Amino acid sequence: MKYIVDSNRMKQIDIYTMDVIGIPSLVLMERAALEVVSVMKQVIKKEDRILAVCGPGNNGADGVAAARILFMQGFEVAILLTFDREKCSREMQTQLEIASKLGIKIDNSINIGEYNIIVDAIFGIGLSKPVTGGFAEIIDEINGGKHIVFSVDIPSGISADNGKVLKTAIKADYTVTFGYMKQGLLMYPGVSYAGKVTVSDIGFPDIALRQVGPAAFYYTEEDLCRLPYRKSDGHKGTFGKVLVIAGSEGMAGAAYLSAKAAYRTGAGMVKILTAAKNRNVIQTLLPEALFAPYDYDEDDEENEIISNGNRRGESVSISVGNLIKALDWADVSVIGPGLGISDKSRDLLTFVLDVVKNKRKPLVIDADAINILAGMLDRESLSVKDRLEKIESLLPENSVLTPHPIELSRILNVPASEITDNIIDIANQYFYNSKLIYVLKNARTIVMGPGGKYINISGNNGMATAGSGDVLTGIIAALTAQGLDAYEAACLAVYMHGLAGELAAQKSSVYSVMAGDIADAIGEILHDKQNTILETR
């Protein structure tokens, strides 16, 4: 697990380190500069011409210190100041005085085009206003040239809080960020401007982060050790039973993908509860799965049937017997993929919610089940807060909801564009103290719940394909059925889902990935990483 901070938390960590622990700012600055130089020297050559473009604050001072170290190691270096020299921080003034005494060229008007290596130290993580005027002109000139660009802490012009471009921003090839990953370096579009990111330890003590608290966290391959332990003497019942309630008539694919992903992730048994007419398709595609219909089945006349007239006067039949048996049998249930939003689907979801809430069993709610829930909310005039509280009242506390932006817009009753443009703010504003677990699917999927905020770093745009979300629900359910806490299961599932998508794309291309490829790749990533899993337990 790696921690993520925003600008405010990083500032507090900085202050705590200096004022409480007593590590001087210039000591931290020297270590930061050494880390920047260390990354640069993996790329640059002695014949390169290096220009440090520096702003007036401590980010600029880091850049000057890095330029000085490179100069003392024999590189040709100059420093371009983007401000009047009298208007700068105390640390910056100190660094400039040292650089001047060493004879480094320092000026406000240096031809950027004469240098092939740029150190971007104009703005740090504290930037919150749009970049304008001379600063914007310099950034645009750097972006328009043929330079290799190293950004100090964050590309100038990118918000450290949400990754937004503050009117214009440096497009870096490399970014060296200090202490902890910044939220804006993970979120789009910021991640596209940062290039290859290195997180460098410059001496912030762990106690500073504990005092302040992280903004979020992310997983790396080492976290695959969180996978549920498999007992050597276990059997199919030991490793969890997953129920997949999915697929209206003619929509068997969603049920198949969720169930297959659950099996690939280690579930011992999977039962698919779907439309009776999907039987042949499901049993052909996935004979390993148990099958039961949620509607009237001519082959099983003993099932109790409830028939209600819907508002169009049509008959709605649901097999209560099959539902109760399946829900009693399962350790965790999935509902929603390919289910449709018919009256039958609404009745089915309502019945399942009543049974599961009383039994307090984990529930993963996806796709059409989310749309049906949102439709229930629309019957009343509710604020966003009231809508979320209403959902909480309907579901067990350990329920997992997996909305994509359009589904989330229906839940919140806000435009989908507002969600995609402000997903971090939406997550912070509405889901931080949620008793439920929300998997907010996007280019960067965010998991919110009792365990905090998880930002996923795995995956690619090839996963933006029909059925990919169905695979994710199956992974979440399987990990939960095997004993993981539902929040941890959701976070780990999202990470594994992304790794599987990466492997699927490597085998073909991001253009060619299908959801079935992602499901098939789950087993392969677990096979490839099994030594890592075992070694880190």
Q: What is the pLDDT of residues 145-169, one digit of tens each?
A: 999 999 999 999 999 999 999 999 9
What mean pLDDT is predicted for residues 104-120?
Answer: 97
Looking at per-residue confidence, does 209 or 301 come out higher?
A: 209
Tell me: is residue 125 an annotated ligand-binding position: yes
Tell me: is residue 2 an annotated ligand-binding position: no
pLDDT at 297: 52
Tell me: is residue 177 an annotated ligand-binding position: no
The CATH architecture annotation of domain 231-535 reads 3-Layer(aba) Sandwich (3.40)
Looking at per-residue confidence, does 306 or 1 come out higher?
A: 1
pLDDT at 311: 39
Q: Beta-strand (E) ranges in 173-250?
A: 174-178, 181-182, 196-200, 216-218, 241-245
Structure tokens at 389: 């509280």
What mean pLDDT is predicted for residues 463-470?
Answer: 97
Tell me: is residue 130 an annotated ligand-binding position: yes
Q: Is the pLDDT of residue 313 over 90?
A: no
Averaged pLDDT of the chain: 93
Q: Smallest Cα–Cα separation from 61: which of 141, 128, 152, 142?
A: 152
Q: Is 75 exposed, middle or buried (0-12, 13-18, 19+ CB in 10 A)?
A: buried
Tell me: is residue 171 an annotated ligand-binding position: no
What mean pLDDT is predicted for residues 468-485?
Answer: 98
CATH 3.40.1190.20 domain position(s) in the chain = 231-535
Q: How confident is the model at residue 534 (pLDDT cuts 50, 70, 90)?
A: low
Tell me: is residue 474 an annotated ligand-binding position: no
User: What SS3 class is residue 164?
Assistant: coil
Q: Cβ(51)–Cβ(110) under 8 Å?
A: yes
Amino acid at 271: K
Tell me: is residue 441 an annotated ligand-binding position: yes
Tell me: is residue 68 an annotated ligand-binding position: no
Q: Beta-strand (E) ranges in 378-491?
A: 400-401, 437-440, 446-449, 452-455
Tell me: is residue 489 an annotated ligand-binding position: no
pLDDT at 315: 44
Model pLDDT for residues 368-424, shown as the tens digit of each residue: 999 999 999 988 889 999 999 999 999 988 899 999 999 999 999 999 999 999 999
Q: How confident is the model at residue 528 (pLDDT cuts 50, 70, 90)?
A: confident
Tell me: is residue 129 an annotated ligand-binding position: yes
Tell me: is residue 308 an annotated ligand-binding position: no
Tell me: is residue 248 an annotated ligand-binding position: no
Q: How confident is the model at residue 296 (pLDDT cuts 50, 70, 90)?
A: low
The proportion of the chain whose per-residue pLDDT surpasses 90, expressed as a percent, equals 87
Q: Which of 214-228, 304-318, 447-461, 489-503 has the lowest mean pLDDT?
A: 304-318
Q: What is the dihedral of CA 336, 476, 243, 232, to 10 degrees?
A: 170
Tell me: is residue 433 an annotated ligand-binding position: no
Encode burial over 362-388: b for 16+ CB neighbours within 10 A, e otherwise: bbbbbbbbbbbbbebbeeeeeeeeebb
pLDDT at 527: 85
What mean pLDDT is predicted for residues 432-440?
Answer: 94
pLDDT at 497: 98
Tell me: is residue 358 an annotated ligand-binding position: no
Tell me: is residue 254 an annotated ligand-binding position: yes
Q: Is the pLDDT of residue 305 over 60?
A: no
Q: How confident is the model at residue 34 (pLDDT cuts 50, 70, 90)?
A: very high
What mean pLDDT is predicted for residues 351-362?
Answer: 88
Tell me: is residue 469 an annotated ligand-binding position: yes
Q: Other CB atoms closer than 10 Å to residue 319's CB: what's the count?
A: 23
pLDDT at 537: 54
pLDDT at 308: 45
Tell me: is residue 338 an annotated ligand-binding position: yes
Tell me: is residue 528 an annotated ligand-binding position: no
Tell me: is residue 128 an annotated ligand-binding position: yes
pLDDT at 462: 97
pLDDT at 381: 86
CA distance 62 to 46: 21
What mean pLDDT is predicted for residues 315-339?
Answer: 89
Q: Is the pLDDT of residue 60 over 90?
A: yes
CATH 3.40.50.10260 domain position(s) in the chain = 17-215
Q: How confident is the model at residue 319 (pLDDT cuts 50, 70, 90)?
A: confident
Asked, as a colleague might, if the bond just before 155 is cis with ω within 30 of 0, I would say: no
User: What SS3 class is residue 158?
Assistant: strand
Tell me: is residue 267 an annotated ligand-binding position: no
Q: Is the pLDDT of residue 529 over 90?
A: no
Tell me: is residue 25 an annotated ligand-binding position: no
What mean pLDDT is predicted for residues 109-116?
Answer: 96
Instruction: Indicate the class that CATH gives domain 17-215.
Output: alpha beta
Tell me: is residue 14 an annotated ligand-binding position: no
What mean pLDDT is predicted for residues 269-298?
Answer: 92
Q: Cβ(467)–Cβ(515) under 8 Å?
A: yes
Tell me: is residue 62 an annotated ligand-binding position: yes
Q: Is the pLDDT of residue 306 over 90?
A: no
Q: CA-CA distances (angstroms) from residue 490 to 228, 398, 402?
A: 13, 11, 9
